[in-house]
A and B are shown apart, each in its own frame.
Chain A
Amino acid sequence: MITAGVDIGSTTSKAVLLNADTILAQVVIPSGTVPQDTARLVFDQCCESAGISKSHVEAVATTGYGRRLAQFGDMVITEIKACGLGAVFTGSPDGSIGTIIDVGGQDTKVITLNENGSIDDFAMNDKCAAGTGRFLEMLAVKLEMDYNAFVESALSSNTMIHMNSTCAVFAESEVISLLARNVDKCDIAAAAHYAIAERIGSMVRRVGCKDVVCFAGGGARNRALVSAIEEVLDRSVYIPEFPQTMVALGAALAARDRLVKGDQS
């Protein structure tokens, strides 16, 4: 039984092809302006990379902010549920996952799972970009660095400074005044990561920090953010092998489960 999960995010879109319990392929592409086209594109590429004809895919589930915008797919679930399903399937070497931090381009979510793997509670950032991946991207641009160099320079900083603003717009002016005071760029980069990590940390404390803490989403690929979050939470976090496609995987699992349930009834 082959199913697909398509996660249409604000920055990137992801697709995962699943055959029962085996991941056949996973693809990440930048999101275009038309969710429907993006969904089709990422799905096609995923089928191609697995070498599977599209007609062999029995069901497609869409999720992510474009889940309803795309007239595509057979079922829709929220990224919160999909993230939970993906995390339960992925698991961790240290036991089952209790808390998931998912840092995306447009929003940040913290989800707690109960013993049987269903969602216990969740929190999301408010309506603006404060505390999300986009915030870091914008500051990298302001510092005239590419994103990877921005992350590396944050890791190399050894002077602690504070950034007061996590508002993407106000932070820009704060960066300008820090630059004007000749503060080292790598210290500013580190401060930006800490500002975000502290915000995420308070979301984690609000919904509860349960063993094992898993960090997923595009943000988990940022090593400076991972180490800042570990410091804020005072514990290590588990990063899955493919953090970016965990939500798409969850959607594919949901489609699979719905098919199995449908066959039984």
Chain B
Amino acid sequence: MDNQFNDIYRVTADSVTNPGNLKKQRFIEEQQKQLQSAIAHRPSGIAYFENMMYSGQPATGSPRVGYFCNMIPQELIAAFGAQAVRIDCGNSAAATVGEEVLSGDICPLAKASFGKFLVSESPAASCDVLIMPTSCDAKRKMGEVLNDIKPTFMFNLPPEQNHERFMSQTVDQMIRLSEFLHKHLGVRLSRRRLRDVIRQYQRRTLMIRSIQDERIREPRSLSIRDFFLIIQSSLFSMVDLDEWISHAEAVLEEMKLFSADRKNLRPRIVLTGAPMIWPNYKVLNLLEECGADVVADTLCSGAQSCVDPVVIDETGKKALIRALTNKYVYASICPCFISQTTRMNRIIDLVDQSRANGVVNHSLRLCQLFDIENYRIERTLKNKQVPFINIRTDYSLEDTEQLRVRIEAFLETLW
């Protein structure tokens, strides 16, 4: 394939030796682990997911492909025999590293993810190639910066969804991505392998859906933080998917057996907005500590990431790629598309389905896309008499107590 970047202005990447910062990153993870150990009811097998999130699978020798966002099909990467690992980062200490090199005035997710590349021990730095969708300005520009460190493919997203004209353009992007992977990994994409991988990932989707349904029925059977941990351990770290599925199945079986002694009077919340990525569970901690049950979410790092199955109509290579495009790009609720209808529909459906008492929007400071979307979401939900609050924050923990007052006061209005 033709090159996306010109090598003539290649810049040597700064590498950072900052052992104090690595220690702090570990400390932040440890702190979150501690907070979660205080959850009243946890699945007996949660340690597996914790370990995966923490350290992941030992290196298998297969190449690693790092990708950003929920719009890159892991199935396509896995079909090339590579390990797919999502490298968006939620660690506030990593954001500090990124800030020192890149800029302070970009969103914490972009800063932290970039920061991970500057520290040689991180899984991000061990990737062979990277895939980055143009889902926001930070990512659009970070691609070329990262390309100086690792070969990076920029996945050009269309501005509009559900339009035939853009469909062929996006399928072309998928094919170009396949060419990129073929060139760098030296493997040919086989139709049969792709079909098998899609089927394997459908089982994961089904598993997450079933857990989600069970949580809507009885949210006390699994904390939202443990649910996020389970989901994210299969995205953000290297796992053997079959092993993960069998562990998740055990969690689901336990959930079905859960019976509570008392009636549940906790308000039911639908969470929407910007992604929360381990260990940035600040708002989840607060919501649960203040007495709410997050019964459903539209976060691209939460249940939304696996909610739609890939639907296969035909099994030709192009048809499979079209099916992946449908799920990953056309069903996406990302605010990077010009219309927020897909996301609005999803929020309203979830409020009905999960019998929620209110909606909490998480807007990540310096992410204009989510921030501006808040305006129409707030008005639409309030017109529907759905209580709504917007929580604007970043990765740092310094505003925890101020947020606690806001969240508590919001929950008080629901009773």
Interfacial residues, chain A to chain B (CB-CB below 8 A): 65, 77-81, 107, 118-119, 122, 124, 126-127
Contact = CB atoms under 8 A, between A and B. Distances in A.
A78 B402 contact: no
B408 A78 contact: yes
Given A118-B413, A119-B413, A80 B402 contact: no
A185 B399 CA distance: 34
B409 A122 contact: yes
A207 to B, nearest CB: 11
B401 interface: yes
B402 A124 contact: yes
B398 interface: yes
Nearest to B409: A80
B405 A79 contact: yes
For the complex of A and B, 5 pairs with smallest distance between CB atoms: A80-B409, A127-B399, A78-B409, A78-B408, A81-B412
Contacts of A78: 405, 408-409, 412
Contacts of B398: 127
A127 B391 CA distance: 12
A142 to B, nearest CB: 24
Contacts of B401: 65
18 contacts: A65-B405, A78-B405, A78-B408, A78-B412, A79-B409, A80-B405, A80-B409, A81-B409, A81-B412, A81-B413, A107-B402, A118-B413, A119-B409, A119-B412, A119-B413, A122-B406, A126-B399, A126-B402
Contacts of A127: 398-399, 402
Given A122-B409, A124-B402, 19 more contacts: A77-B412, A78-B405, A78-B409, A79-B405, A80-B405, A80-B409, A80-B412, A81-B409, A81-B413, A107-B402, A107-B405, A118-B413, A119-B409, A119-B413, A122-B406, A124-B405, A124-B406, A126-B399, A127-B399
Nearest to B399: A127
A154 to B, nearest CB: 28
| Residue among A78, A80, A107 having the largest count of chain B Cβ atoms under 10 Å | A78
Interface in B383-406: 398-399, 401-402, 405-406
A179 B168 CA distance: 65
B274 to A, nearest CB: 17
A246 to B, nearest CB: 16
Contacts of B408: 78
Nearest to A107: B402
A127 B393 CA distance: 9
A250 to B, nearest CB: 12
Contacts of A81: 409, 412-413
B252 to A, nearest CB: 35
A107 B401 CA distance: 12
A118 B387 CA distance: 13
Interface string B286-315: 000000000000000000000000000000
Contacts of A79: 405, 409
A131 B314 CA distance: 61
A253 to B, nearest CB: 14
Nearest to A80: B409
B361 to A, nearest CB: 14
Contacts of A118: 413
A102 to B, nearest CB: 12
A186 B377 CA distance: 45
Contacts of B409: 78-81, 119, 122
A243 B73 CA distance: 58
Interface string B239-263: 0000000000000000000000000
A262 to B, nearest CB: 15
A131 to B, nearest CB: 13
Contacts of A65: 401, 405
Contacts of B402: 107, 124, 126-127
